[in-house]
């Protein structure tokens, strides 16, 4: 799989972008201190354009946009990854059960899935975040609750395909129970599809986090890419022509989403034999 991945330049480029952001996010506490982010302690020029001292300019409080963008990657990526884990776990559980139990339980689960699909995801996420209160935890839950349906339908379809294969009938004939069939025989065959879906889900989750935080549902004391866009927009960056305040978090979101998308597509080409055959 590694050799096949290395033959796909787009996938390598996407993975390189993700690794770069991951390294910056993990290493940021080593070179960014609380005083550099505290509006009461910084003394830089306000809304200053890029310069030698401030490569990406400053915000209305005099803080470095470069340092804010790097620091914001920590929570933006964390929320995206955690919400994706919750989304995949919930969607996989529902999809497996709905695909294996095709009676009343399976139909009931798919009715619930279809009901969530029919609901507009953004208003539902906004409502959940408002009910749960401001903060990263509420945004994470809201994203997971509104994003699991695609994974559930995907896993259910793959589960039905796997259980139609002869080796499942042989497993049943040898006395394998429902739990053993789902976990030992079906789930391993569904995992490649889940892996590909997860990379695309992370990209969607990061966009959702930025949207909800921009709307004021995030933690007002934390720095994320969404909160940077919100502060820039409502702080007068647009009217002041401070493009250097708006572009860095927007470009960071774009690069990370593109990185996950390119990586996910490359993995999909490798793991899906039909895609590889026609690539």
The residues spanned by each domain of the chain are: 14-271
What does pTM read for this prediction? 0.88
State yes or no: pLDDT of 6 exceeds 50: yes
Give the pLDDT mean for 21-42: 91
Q: Which CATH number fits domain 14-271: 3.10.105.10, 3.30.420.10, 3.20.80.10, 1.10.3720.10?
A: 1.10.3720.10
| Structure confidence at residue 275 (pLDDT) | 45
Q: In percent, how much of the chain has pLDDT > 90?
A: 56
Which pLDDT tens digit goes with each residue over 190-225? 988 898 889 989 999 999 999 999 998 888 888 999
Give the pLDDT mean for 58-75: 93
In angstroms, rounded to a whole number, what is the distance separating the alpha carbons of residues 112 and 70?
A: 40
Least confidently predicted of 1-5, 23-27, 59-63 = 1-5
| Structure confidence at residue 133 (pLDDT) | 85
Which pLDDT tens digit goes with each residue over 225-241? 999 999 999 888 888 88
In angstroms, rounded to a whole number, what is the distance separating the alpha carbons of residues 99 and 116?
A: 18
Give the pLDDT mean for 30-50: 89
In angstroms, rounded to a whole number, what is the distance separating the alpha carbons of residues 187 and 91?
A: 13
| Structure confidence at residue 1 (pLDDT) | 63
State yes or no: pLDDT of 148 exceeds 70: yes
Tell me the pLDDT band of 245, cut-offs 50, 70 and 90. Answer: very high
| Structure confidence at residue 154 (pLDDT) | 92
State yes or no: pLDDT of 75 exceeds 60: yes
Give the pLDDT mean for 175-184: 86
Which pLDDT tens digit goes with each residue over 265-276? 888 888 765 544
State yes or no: pLDDT of 23 exceeds 60: yes
């Amino acid at each position: 799989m590694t050799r096949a991945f290395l033959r796909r330049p787009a996938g390598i480029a996407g993975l390189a972008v993700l690794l770069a952001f991951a390294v910056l996010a993990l290493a940021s506490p080593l070179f960014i201190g609380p005083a550099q982010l505290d509006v009461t302690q910084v003394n830089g020029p306000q809304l200053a354009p890029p310069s030698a001292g401030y490569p990406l300019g400053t915000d209305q409080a005099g803080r470095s946009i470069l340092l804010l963008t790097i620091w914001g990657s920590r929570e933006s990526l964390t929320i995206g990854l955690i919400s994706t884990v919750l989304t995949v776990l919930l969607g996989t559980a529902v999809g497996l059960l709905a695909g294996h139990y095709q009676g009343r339980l399976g139909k009931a689960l798919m009715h619930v899935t279809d009901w969530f699909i029919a609901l507009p995801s953004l208003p539902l996420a906004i409502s959940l975040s408002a009910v749960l209160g401001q903060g990263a935890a509420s945004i994470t839950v809201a994203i997971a609750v509104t994003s699991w349906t695609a994974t559930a339908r995907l896993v259910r379809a793959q589960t039905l395909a796997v259980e139609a294969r002869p080796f499942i009938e042989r497993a049943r004939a040898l006395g394998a129970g429902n739990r053993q069939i789902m976990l030992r025989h079906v789930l391993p065959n569904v995992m490649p599809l889940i892996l590909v879906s997860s990379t695309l889900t992370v990209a969607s989750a990061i966009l959702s986090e930025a949207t909800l935080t921009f709307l004021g549902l995030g933690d007002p004391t934390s720095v994320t890419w969404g909160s940077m866009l919100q502060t820039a927009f409502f702080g007068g960056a647009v009217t002041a022509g401070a493009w250097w305040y708006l572009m860095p978090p927007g470009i960071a979101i774009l690069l990370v989403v593109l990185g996950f998308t390119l990586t996910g597509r490359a993995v999909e080409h490798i793991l899906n034999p039909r895609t590889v055959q026609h690539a």
